[in-house]
Amino acid sequence: MSRRVVVTGIGAITPIGLTADGLWAGLRAERSAVATVTRFDPSIWRSRIAAQVDDFVVTDHMDAKRAKRLDRFSQFAVVSAQQALADAAIDLDAEDRERVGAMMGTALGGVGYAETQIHDFLKYGAKGLNPLLALTVFGGAASCNIAIELGVMGPNATNAMSCASGTIAIGEGFRQIRDGYADVMIAGGSEAPLHPLCFGAFAVIRAMSTRNDDPGTASRPFDRDRDGFVMGEGGAVLVLEERERALARGARVYAEVSGFGMTNDAHHMTAPRPDGRQAARAIRLALADAHLAPHEVQYVNAHGSSTPLNDPTETVAIKQVFEEHAPRLAVSSTKGYYGHALGASGAFEAAITALALARDWLPPTINLAEPDAGCDLDYVPRTGRTERVDVALSNSFGFGGINASLVMQRADG
């Protein structure tokens, strides 16, 4: 039995705003949150800029004892899940908690927190280690802590498929409901990578922008002067729900999730397959899953990482799928706002896509001054656009050659 799946709640902890409304306000402001790193001294690295979440106070959302048991990565996951559930107005006491699950994605999990423990271990020995270290470092802590905090016992997993993991988590959550294994899924991504070694790991492979003197314009997807991605952090969660029960309880519906596709380039750990063939196949699989033709799509929230290799490859993939319809697509990458939060980025962008469908406004690709020669689509440059969209696509691509795409449709479509 195939069931329809809708988005009824959004939680977001991002560099441009907390909560769904905060995220939307940040998008409408059309300003980048990228600045010089203050979380640690970045002076030893070529890149010294990032998009930090500076206004998140965990004890505003849970008691200090519980907060102390969670590292920042898990805090982002749990709090964004709590926000999303409240936004959906779901009373778990009235639910069959075995039919409510959690799917999350992350690239690095609690590795950033483990990095802080190295200092204490070297200084104090075994006595310096937090006994909770083993419970914070593994990626599965995201979905497991959500389950424990909320008491939900349905399908549960956290994938670690790099920068596509948030999108994959939402896609897998969609499948759980569509195929009858759950009625509600809490799905998204969480990432807290702003620590010296986690940050430096990407700096040493020259993947990140070095526009240190002008941080606000450093993340510039599809622009000819882009020079790498900008690291970010945060978490975002969607509440996915079986459509008929959502309508029956009078839920506010942001959008419908109707298709998901995933492939692998089988090419290189860091470079995308140059012909874009498998990225294109992921898009086609998502469209086939949604029973939609390419010409029915109107908006694409692109992965658009602001890296020299990814942006033209994604453009090639879009052209392969949409052919003569490609020039008529509105395309934007929102990473100019908040950088690249690795495994959380796909969840940010799925939330943004759902909001764009619900609120008839397409966010711009800020900092796009002049598209690169290989990037020649309608990227909604610099300023957002008021536009009704019925069908949208959200793409995510990551290290290891992973490709993932979600199709979303207008709630009343």
Three-class SS of residue 159? strand
* First-to-final CA distance of the chain: 21
Residue 363 is classified by DSSP as P
Residue found under tokens 């690709």: 365
Contact 41, 194 (CB under 8 A): no
Q: What are the CB-based long-range contacts (under 8 Å, 24+) for 198-205? A: 198/108, 198/111, 198/112, 198/115, 199/37, 199/40, 199/42, 199/45, 199/47, 199/50, 199/231, 200/44, 200/45, 202/47, 202/229, 202/231, 203/45, 203/46, 203/47, 204/45, 205/270
Q: Which residues of 29-55 are buried (b: 16+ CB within 10 A; e: fewer)?
A: eeebbbbebebbebeebebbbbbbbee
Out of 144, 163, 198, 375, the active site residue is 163
**Domains in the chain, CATH or no CATH each:** 5-248 (3.40.47.10), 258-410 (3.40.47.10)
Give the C-alpha separation, 50 to 242, whole Å: 38
Q: Tokens for 404, please give them.
A: 């993932």
Phi, psi (5° rounding) for residue 264? -135, 140
Give the C-alpha separation, 283 to 277, whole Å: 10
Q: What is the pLDDT along the chain (413 residues), one digit of tens a residue?
A: 689 999 999 999 999 999 999 999 999 999 999 999 999 999 999 999 999 999 999 999 999 999 999 999 999 999 999 999 999 999 999 999 999 999 999 999 999 999 999 989 999 999 999 999 999 999 999 999 999 999 999 999 999 999 999 999 999 999 999 999 999 999 999 999 999 999 999 999 999 999 999 999 999 999 999 999 999 999 999 999 999 999 999 999 999 999 999 999 999 999 999 999 999 999 999 999 999 999 999 999 999 999 999 999 999 999 999 999 999 999 999 999 999 999 999 999 999 999 999 999 999 999 999 999 989 999 999 999 999 999 999 999 999 999 999 999 999 74
Residue 370 is classified by DSSP as S
375 tagged catalytic: no
Question: How confident is the model at residue 1, as a pLDDT?
Answer: 63
Phi, psi (5° rounding) for residue 68? -65, -25
Question: Around Cβ 369, how many Cβ atoms within 10 Å?
Answer: 11
Three-class SS of residue 150? helix
Angle CA(12)–CA(13)–CA(15) in degrees, nearest 5? 120
The strand pairing partners of 284, in sequence order, are none
pTM of the model: 0.97
Phi, psi (5° rounding) for residue 109? 55, -135
Question: How confident is the model at residue 216, as a pLDDT?
Answer: 97
